[in-house]
Amino acid sequence: MKPVFVAIGGGSGSGKSTLCRLLEAKLGSNVLEVVSLDRYFYPDATTNNRPECIQADKARADLASLRDGKTVSFTSRGRQVTYRPRPLIIVEGHLVLSIPELQDFFDLTIYVDMEPQERIMRRIERNVAAGADLNQVIAWYRQDAQPGHWECIEPTKQEADLILWGNWTERRVEKVSRVLLSLLGD
């Protein structure tokens, strides 16, 4: 049986990864595999906020392998990554909806939206908690993340099948999981 592919995109800090973690906990790893597009950044990319920083050909080949029932393993930024074929495969990342080469895989596309101020606060909290300097995070956001968002990510919202607000409650996650399970059929 061919897996169902779902893309979850949206701005950095909008709640995409949180939604994927919650769905994975709810649906289980025997049903769902989450493929992080962040694992496909070119190692020498000068930005992570434009489609050209993604190894689209590799991502496409790996999605085709998963579709064909094959496990995918590779090294990304010094870490071993393994994705296994499952009935439901979510491809998650802020750029996933902006890479034309991937769009024909997706049975459903979801854009996770959030107020810009909340997205940057989440991003600052996350980066500073990981040891980054606050001033460097702010400078990076102004010079790279913010322009990349408005030029490459925000425009994809109008093409998404669903637009969801990235403030997750148990009820909302339950509804999203029911929609995803309905795509699998009986």
Per-residue pLDDT in tens (0 to 9) along the chain, 186 residues:
799 999 999 999 999 999 999 999 999 999 999 999 999 999 988 889 999 999 999 999 999 999 999 999 999 989 999 999 999 999 999 999 999 999 999 999 999 999 999 999 999 999 999 999 999 999 988 999 999 999 999 999 999 999 999 999 999 999 999 999 999 985
What is the domain partition of the chain in residue ranges?
A: 4-184
Q: Tell me the per-residue pLDDT of 27-37, one tens digit each, with 9 for 90 and over.
A: 999 999 999 99
Gap between the Cα atoms of 166 and 8, Å rounded: 11
For the question of whether the overall pTM of this predicted structure is more than 0.75, the answer is yes
Give me the CATH code for the 4-184 domain, please. 3.40.50.300
* Neighbour-count burial for 10-46, b at 16+ CB within 10 Å, e otherwise: bbbbbbbbbbbebbeebbeeebbbbbbbbbbbeeeee
Structure confidence at residue 186 (pLDDT)? 57
Nearest to 26 by CA among 79, 71, 88, 93: 88
